[in-house]
């Protein structure tokens, strides 16, 4: 039995470790947890590749992938995953996404044994790829098959991320008590962000680009259209990657869920978030955003049902980082001045690939902004990603 062999292997490995260390056990590792919708916090960065196999094989002896392939037992909790899809990082891959995919496919061919694995696409940064196996292949099998490859760093499941809760459709500014609280809903007057006072100083700037990583954005919305980012180099519909960023016809951003150039919102959440950030103010239409003037970049990675894979989230964030870097290195002639990304989602486990993407965006001078969530929980006491 595969499971019995794995368990025997774990016991043998631990016995050898104790013997080599004079009977002493190594330091225990803190357990990472999955992303939950909307909260993200600074946490100790843990390596999924270092996850104890015994943790994965707990819960009545069921190994990951041996029951329902759409879930995996991860650090003692059952988590939703994209079946048969894995995120793998390898040192030595080229920096260009297209070359990463070709080189990654060649490296996978060097395996002497293990399950069939196929390189699907580059995630656009940190030399990471999305690879595919049969749905019933376990994490342990994939890791064992990859661990001997040159430059291998880690592999992790492609966890599913979701929205936290349905958000309301605010019809007008007077209902936005968070911006200006007059006690209109029975709350405490002035318990708000003092938006009208801030607007006396500034109403924002269209030189600032905010990447909204979400369900997309309705770029035709009458209260958003004037503040939608448009790629200044890309020529719509010509089928050419005019700015050389690896994406063809990315005029308003990209849809990483359907892998196409149209980040139109088919859920509503991303449009709502975009309205909070940058609905045009003082135009007699709808609501007013915190910024009356700004540019919203649509980065869709969640589907119409409000969920999507971690690999798509990583790709969306890497896209924003790439555009920021192009803007900086070209003197503003290419790319976009992405100052921050908005991330109102979560629900998966700790992801090393997502952590690396967040770190890279920070090194590029961007903020990664995440909502605290709508679960009324203490994020300092209960980890949530």
Please write the tens of the pLDDT for every residue from 180-213: 888 988 889 999 888 888 888 899 999 999 999 9
* Lowest mean pLDDT across 89-93, 94-98, 155-159, 372-376: 372-376
pLDDT score, position 374: 73
β-bridge mates for residue 343, sequence order: 370
Confidence of residue 384 (pLDDT cuts 50, 70, 90): confident
Contact yes or no for 90/120 (Cβ under 8 A)? no
Domain-wise residue ranges, the chain: 46-160, 173-344
Contact yes or no for 45/156 (Cβ under 8 A)? no
Confidence of residue 230 (pLDDT cuts 50, 70, 90): very high
Contact yes or no for 342/324 (Cβ under 8 A)? no
For residues 371 and 110, give the distance between their C-alpha atoms in angstroms, rounded to a whole number.
Answer: 43
Residue 329 pLDDT > 70, yes or no? Answer: yes
CA distances from 178 to 192, 194, 298 (A): 5, 9, 24
Higher per-residue confidence, 358 vs 178: 358
For residues 24 and 327, give the distance between their C-alpha atoms in angstroms, rounded to a whole number.
Answer: 53
User: Tokens at residue 137, please?
Assistant: 């292949």
Report domain 173-344's class.
alpha beta
User: Tokens at residue 306, please?
Assistant: 């409000």
Residue 40 pLDDT > 80, yes or no? Answer: no
Contact yes or no for 330/242 (Cβ under 8 A)? no
What b/e sequence results for 288-318 when a residue is b if at least 16 CB atoms lie within 10 Å of its CB, and e otherwise? Answer: bbbbbbbbbbbbbbbbeebbbbbbbbbbbbb
Phi/psi at 309 (nearest 5 deg)? -80, 150
For residues 49 and 66, give the distance between their C-alpha atoms in angstroms, rounded to a whole number.
Answer: 20
């Amino acid at each position: 039995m595969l499971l019995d062999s794995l368990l025997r292997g774990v016991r043998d490995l631990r016995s050898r470790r104790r013997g080599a260390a004079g009977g002493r056990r190594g330091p225990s590792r803190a357990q990472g947890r999955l992303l939950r919708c909307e909260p993200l916090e600074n946490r100790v960065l843990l390596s999924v590749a270092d996850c104890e196999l015994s943790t994965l094989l707990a819960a009545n002896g069921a190994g990951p992938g041996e029951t329902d392939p759409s879930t995996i037992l991860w650090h003692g909790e059952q988590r939703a995953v994209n079946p048969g899809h894995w995120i793998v990082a390898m040192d030595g891959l080229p920096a260009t996404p297209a070359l990463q995919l070709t080189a990654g496919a060649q490296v996978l061919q060097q395996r002497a044994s293990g399950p069939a694995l196929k390189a699907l696409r580059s995630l656009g940064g940190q030399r990471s790829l999305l690879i595919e196996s049969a749905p019933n292949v376990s994490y342990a099998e994939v890791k064992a098959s990859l661990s001997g490859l040159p430059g291998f760093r880690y592999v992790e499941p492609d966890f599913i991320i979701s929205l936290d809760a349905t958000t309301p459709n605010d019809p007008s500014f007077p209902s936005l008590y968070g911006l200006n609280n007059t006690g209109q809903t029975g709350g405490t007057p002035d318990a708000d962000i003092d938006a009208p006072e801030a607007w006396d100083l500034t109403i924002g700037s269209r030189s600032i680009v905010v990447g909204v990583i979400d369900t997309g954005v309705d770029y035709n919305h009458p209260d958003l259209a004037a503040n939608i980012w448009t790629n200044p180099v890309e020529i719509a519909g010509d089928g050419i990657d005019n700015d050389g960023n690896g994406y063809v016809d990315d005029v308003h951003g990209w849809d990483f869920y359907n892998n196409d150039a149209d980040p139109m919102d088919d859920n509503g959440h991303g449009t709502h978030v975009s309205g909070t950030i940058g609905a045009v103010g003082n135009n007699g239409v709808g609501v007013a955003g915190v910024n009356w003037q700004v540019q919203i970049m649509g980065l869709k990675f969640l589907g119409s049902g409000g969920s999507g894979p971690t690999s798509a989230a990583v790709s969306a964030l890497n896209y924003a980082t790439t555009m920021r870097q192009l803007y900086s290195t070209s003197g503003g002639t290419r790319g976009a001045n992405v100052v921050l990304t908005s991330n109102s989602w979560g629900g998966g486990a700790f992801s090393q690939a997502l952590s690396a993407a967040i770190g890279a965006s920070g090194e590029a001078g961007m903020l990664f902004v995440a909502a605290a969530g709508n679960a009324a929980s203490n994020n300092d006491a209960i980890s949530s990603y």
